[in-house]
Amino acid sequence: MSFLRIRFILFLLMLTVSMAGTGGCKREKLYGYRPPNYFPVTRDDLHSIATLDNQKIWAIGSFAGIYHSADGGATWKPQKSGVDDLAQLCKVDFVDDQHGWIVGSFGIILHTGDGGKTWNSQDSTTDHLLLNVDFVDRQHGWIVGEKATILRTRDGGATWELQFDEMGPVYNGVQFFDQQTGWIVGDYGTILHTTDGGENWTTQECQDIIPVLDEEDALAWEPVPVLFDVAIVNKQKILISGIDGLIVMTEDGGLNWKKISTPSKLAIYALAAHDNTVWAIGEKGNYLVSTDGGHTWKTITDVIKTRKWLRGISFASATNGWIAGGMGTVVKTTDGGNSWEMISGQSYEVRSAWD
């Protein structure tokens, strides 16, 4: 066989391989398989996610990012926030499929009345970092943040009443059962409770998490732990999550709180509850589930398949839920959290297949 013929055959082989690799199918479409680094939502960090019907979903996060799906997560489109691109958006809350609020850095409050087609700024009267928002209807809502910031509205955000303390702790979470009854949690084991819609707040304590000072060994002292989120199972049973796998619970409306044993030492950033099932997420892909109303917990591994931190969780029903987190992570479940499908993000399971 002549040298020229050998070169021609090699050329044909290389051309065939090249054409096969650049055909009409993208790599993630082959055999229905997605590569490990798959970001149809965003590559940026996501801090919160909200859904009411499992079809319309909003995820928000870094660089003023707002992302929306109207078809159960099959496709995603960005929505314009109208604020500085450097802004961090921290929490999103919807009361129906049209009316929602977002809070974030620089005192940002955004409101939509058309499902996110347009987002308009509301005047928070502060430039503090706002971390959490909760509305019980279209009119009544509360926001918390740094420097003991508490904001309240009774007119859908047209006006906000501001309370804050420059030397106060960071308030990380807020949740209301109805227009009158709610809780706030934050740094230094802070638990605040109101029964008059936030007109007055009283301090509650979980003695189990208050360190006992050892006068003989000052180095053994530990700070009061940070509390991140609060979930209301019913008006009497409330759960709070915190640093180092901490869960505390009350079953009498906050008169008495107790620490609940968990198998995790990783921070738990967010909670969601539906009937007797409670889901908890946190750092390094930490995922725990309780099926008895928060009394006992089990760490579930190898179902979310990411080691990125997880910050946002929202369940539309007992079976349909969504989680959002670092590096564009979005996962969904249709079986109550027994299994999760990665919609966007970086999975550790198949990374080596493409490296």
List Cβ<8 Å contacts ≥24 apart for 162-167.
Answer: 162/124, 162/125, 162/126, 164/126, 164/128
Q: What is the DSSP string of 130-175?
A: EEEEEESSSS-EEEEETTTEEEEESSTTSS-EEE--TTSPPEEEEE
Is the pLDDT higher at 243 or at 16?
A: 243
Identify the pLDDT of residue 220. 57
Give me the pLDDT at residue 211, please: 84
pLDDT at 98 over 50: yes
CA torsion sign for 305, 278, 291, 249 is positive
Q: Give the DSSP H/E element, type plus range, for residue 15.
A: helix 3-21
Average pLDDT, integer, range 161-167: 90
Question: Which phi-psi region, left, alpha or beta, contains residue 265 (left: φ > 0; alpha: ψ -120 to 50)?
Answer: alpha
CA distance 334 to 82: 33
Range of weakest confidence among 17-21, 183-187, 232-236: 17-21
- Condensed to tens digits (0 to 9), the pLDDT of residues 299-309 reads 999 999 999 99
13 or 267, which is more confident: 267
Structure confidence at residue 29 (pLDDT)? 36
**Which domains are delineated in the chain?**
38-354 (2.130.10.10)
Is the pLDDT at 203 greater than 80, yes or no?
yes
Lookup: tokens for 67 = 């992302």
DSSP state of 197: T
Query: How are strands ordered across the β-sheet holding 141-145?
Result: 130-135, 141-145, 149-153, 161-163
How far, in Å, CA of 97 to CA of 238, rounded?
26
| Predicted local confidence at residue 216, as pLDDT | 63
Average pLDDT, the chain: 89
- 37 band by pLDDT with thresholds 50, 70 and 90: low
What's the one-letter identity of residue 248? V
The pLDDT score that the predictor gives to residue 35 is 52
Tell me what pLDDT residue 38 has.
83
pLDDT at residue 34 greater than cutoff 70: no
Q: Is the dihedral of CA 336, 339, 344, 347 positive or negative?
A: positive
Q: How confident is the model at residue 75 (pLDDT cuts 50, 70, 90)?
A: very high
In this predicted structure, what is the pLDDT of residue 348?
Answer: 85
pLDDT of residue 165: 87
User: If you search the block for the tokens 């109805």, which residue do you land on?
Assistant: 178
Residue count (the chain): 355
Contact of 185 with 240, CB cutoff 8 Å: yes
What's residue 237's pLDDT?
A: 97
Q: pLDDT band for position 212 (50/70/90)? A: confident
Q: Is residue 353 pLDDT above 60, yes or no?
A: no
Q: What is the pLDDT of residue 218?
A: 55
100's torsion region: left (phi>0), alpha (psi -120 to 50) or beta? Answer: beta
SS3 50: strand
Does the pTM of the predicted model rise above 0.95? Answer: no
Q: What is the mean pLDDT of residues 193-199?
A: 97
pLDDT (0 to 100) of residue 224? 85
CA-CA distance, 52 to 18, in Å (whole number)? 46
pLDDT for 92: 98
User: What would the pLDDT profile of 217-249 be if each residue is shown by its tens digit?
Assistant: 556 567 789 999 999 999 999 999 999 999 999
- pLDDT tens digits, one per residue of 312-350: 999 999 999 999 999 999 999 999 999 999 999 998 876
With 60 as the cut, is the pLDDT of residue 113 above it? Answer: yes
Residues 6+ apart with CB under 8 A from 78: 42, 65, 66, 67, 68
Q: What is the pLDDT of residue 24?
A: 35
Convert the pLDDT of each residue in 252-294 to its tens digit: 999 999 999 999 999 999 999 999 999 999 999 999 999 999 9
**Residue 2 binned pLDDT confidence (cut-offs 50, 70, 90):** low
